């Protein structure tokens, strides 16, 4: 594949991945705001009506959710065994030698220890982010993300198989993006502020819960005000554990 076309494919993947991450964050924010609003109305209805309310809006009663948590030693052990099994299965996937070489090159070029006293903060943050994403991608076998990290770290991708992986990554993230956009949280995030009271009013009416327009408007404004500090894509920084490949 010609160099220009290779770079176009990588950039296509980068944009698709960024679109998915943005949509995912919007879904999380929208879900949080909608759940806050619904929780305010839940407090105002009679106890006998709460299971019906929960099943419609949250998919199940709040009481059932509490009961689902592992409470016995046996349940906890089984859950831990399941998680360990999944991790071990992921570790068993054999990575090609050329990919191992690229991973080691990324770690060598972007390791945070190299930039402890680096004077340019933007460059320091850039390589720290690449390092974090590369480690996570390696451990989760997201090869397309790992290759994107290599590209952004200035590491040549000469293997033709790399671009087949990138193209599969584009398809995968397009599918993820489409799935997120069908979720209620994402759709709520994109409802215009002026339309939110009406949308919420229609939600509530479907189950016969009647609230005044003023009550609904007040709840929407309160929740929005409480969430103004949240911004899409802002997450706490955390360095992942390095898993080197011998």
Least confident residue range of 10-14, 75-79, 148-152 = 75-79
Q: What is the mean pLDDT of residues 119-144?
A: 94
Q: How many CB atoms lie within 10 A of CB 172?
A: 16
The pLDDT of residue 67 is 44
DSSP type of residue 240: P
Q: Residues 86-110: pLDDT tens digits?
A: 545 555 678 899 999 999 999 999 9
The pLDDT of residue 51 is 83
Residue 115 has pLDDT above 80, yes or no: yes
How far is Cα 61 from Cα 53, in angstroms, rounded to an integer?
8
The mean pLDDT value of the chain amounts to 80
Question: Do 34 and 27 form a contact (C-beta atoms < 8 A)?
Answer: no
161 or 60, which is more confident? 161
Q: Residues 2-30: pLDDT tens digits?
A: 557 888 999 999 999 999 999 999 999 98
The pLDDT of residue 159 is 86
- Residue 145 burial by CB count (10 A; 0-12/13-18/19+): exposed, middle or buried? buried
Residue 147 banded pLDDT, cuts 50, 70, 90:
very high
Question: 33 CB contacts (<8 Å, ≥6 apart)?
Answer: 188, 189, 223, 224, 227
The pLDDT of residue 198 is 87
160 or 170, which is more confident? 170
Residue 179 banded pLDDT, cuts 50, 70, 90:
very high
Question: Do 170 and 10 form a contact (C-beta atoms < 8 A)?
Answer: no
The proportion of the chain whose per-residue pLDDT surpasses 70, expressed as a percent, equals 75
Residue 79: what are its φ and ψ, rounded to 5°?
Answer: -65, -45
The proportion of the chain whose per-residue pLDDT surpasses 90, expressed as a percent, equals 39
Q: What is the mean pLDDT of residues 53-72?
A: 55
Least confident residue range of 147-156, 194-203, 237-246 = 237-246
Q: How many CB atoms lie within 10 A of CB 165?
A: 19
How far is Cα 234 from Cα 226, in angstroms, rounded to an integer?
17
Residue 238 banded pLDDT, cuts 50, 70, 90:
very low
How far is Cα 219 from Cα 44, in angstroms, rounded to an integer?
12
Q: What is the mean pLDDT of residues 103-125?
A: 91
Most confident of 34-43, 49-58, 171-180: 171-180
SS3 19: helix
């Amino acid at each position: 594949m010609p160099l220009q076309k290779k770079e176009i494919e990588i950039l296509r993947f980068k944009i698709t991945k960024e679109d998915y991450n943005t949509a995912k964050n919007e879904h999380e924010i929208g879900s949080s705001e909608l759940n806050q609003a619904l929780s305010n109305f839940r407090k105002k209805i009679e106890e006998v009506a709460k299971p019906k309310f929960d099943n419609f809006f949250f998919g199940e009663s709040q009481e059932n959710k509490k009961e689902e948590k592992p409470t016995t030693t046996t349940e906890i052990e089984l859950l831990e065994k399941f998680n360990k099994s999944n991790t071990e299965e992921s570790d068993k996937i054999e990575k090609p030698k050329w990919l191992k070489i690229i991973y080691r090159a990324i770690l060598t070029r972007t390791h945070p220890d190299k930039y402890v006293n680096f004077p340019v903060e933007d460059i320091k943050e850039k390589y720290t982010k690449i390092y974090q994403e590369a480690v996570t991608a390696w451990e989760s076998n997201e090869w397309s993300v790992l290759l994107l990290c290599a590209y952004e770290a200035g590491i040549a991708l000469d293997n033709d198989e790399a671009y087949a992986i990138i193209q599969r990554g584009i398809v995968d993230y397009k599918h993820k993006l489409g799935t997120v956009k069908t979720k209620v949280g994402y759709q709520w995030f994109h409802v215009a502020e002026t339309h939110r009271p009406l949308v919420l009013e229609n939600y509530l009416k479907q189950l016969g819960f009647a609230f005044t327009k003023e009550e609904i408007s007040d709840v929407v404004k309160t929740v929005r005000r409480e969430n103004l500090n949240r911004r899409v894509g802002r997450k706490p920084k955390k360095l992942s554990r390095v898993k080197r490949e011998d």
